[in-house]
Each structure stands twice: as C-alpha cells, then as structure tokens.
Amino acid sequence: MEKIFAPWRIEYIKMEKRDGCIFCELPKENKDEKNLILHRGKHAFVIMNNYPYNPGHVMVAPYRHVGSWENLKDEEALDINNLVSLMIRAIKKAMNPHGFNIGINLGRVAGAGIVDHVHVHIVPRWDGDTNFMPVLADTKVIPQAMGETYRELKNALSALL
C-alpha cells in the first residue's frame, strides 16, 4: 500500500466536530481566517471548501438558512451572483486557472453534502489537473495547503476591492 503524507490535515482531524449548519454558525463566530471565510457581502458570503476538489475551491452561501434555490429572496440571489463573479475574478488573478466548474447541488441525490442550506460551488480547473490517483488509488492530491490558498485568494480579493 502506498502512503501519501498530508501533515496539515491533523489539525482538522483533531478539531471538535460541529453540530448545526456551518453556513449559519461560522459567520457568527467572526473568526474569518480560522473558518476560511474569504469575503462577506450584504446577504451572502464566500467560504473555502474544507474538502476541496482542487485548490481554490470556494462556496458562496446566503447568511439566511434556506434550503432551496427558488426560496432565495431576490437580494440574496443577486448578492450570491455578484460574489460568484467576484470570486471568478479573484481566483483568476491569484491562481490563473484554465477554466471553472460552477454549480449548485440541490438535494442529497444531486450530491449536496449540506442539504438544507443552499450554496454555490466554484472550482478552478487546470489542464492536466486530473491524473491517475483518483482513477487507480481512489485518492485526490491537493497540491497546496489551505492556509496558503486562503492568503492568495484574500490578497487577490483585496486587490480587486
């Protein structure tokens, strides 16, 4: 069996597991860097995915606990859309991806990990970012530590705002 070492993950493994909705609770803590919150809008915010598909994988969620897209208020939907556009620009500036996957998983069967709080995924993609590891070893290699990605994206956001 091959081993891949990711020593930065031990902090996450040892941390206390949360009850409740992370999209509701984390913004209330006002510990944005610790909680990987990159930006706060009026009705929605941007948070890095703690289980990223690729470096720079972020999510945009409304502050209000709402489980379906059609139940968003107009101002929430507009803020989410504006934050998605802002993050595309910031990720391009910081990481120079070749493309993006942007999507919303509504319902568990659609792949939603957090079913009852709607959110948009933004995943930067690069030519060649898929390799043999997921196919042969059922393992995804994330080549950058979360803290480093956070700082790069935060700097890019600061330059844009």
Task: Provide the β-strand partners of residue 141.
Answer: none
Is 119 an annotated catalytic residue?
yes
Amino acid letter for position 117: H
- Determine the Cα–Cα distance for residues 77 and 118; give it in Å rounded to an integer: 11
Burial of 59 (0-12, 13-18, 19+ CB in 10 A): buried
Residue the block writes with tokens 């950058």: 144
Contact between 147 and 97 under an 8 Å Cβ cutoff? The reply is no
Task: Compute, in degrees rounded to 10, the torsion defined by CA atoms 21, 111, 73, 99.
Answer: 110
- The span from the CA of 119 to the CA of 111, in Å, is 12
Which one from 39, 43, 119, 121 is the annotated catalytic residue? Answer: 119
What is the identity of the amino acid at 132?
A: F
Residues catalogued as catalytic:
119
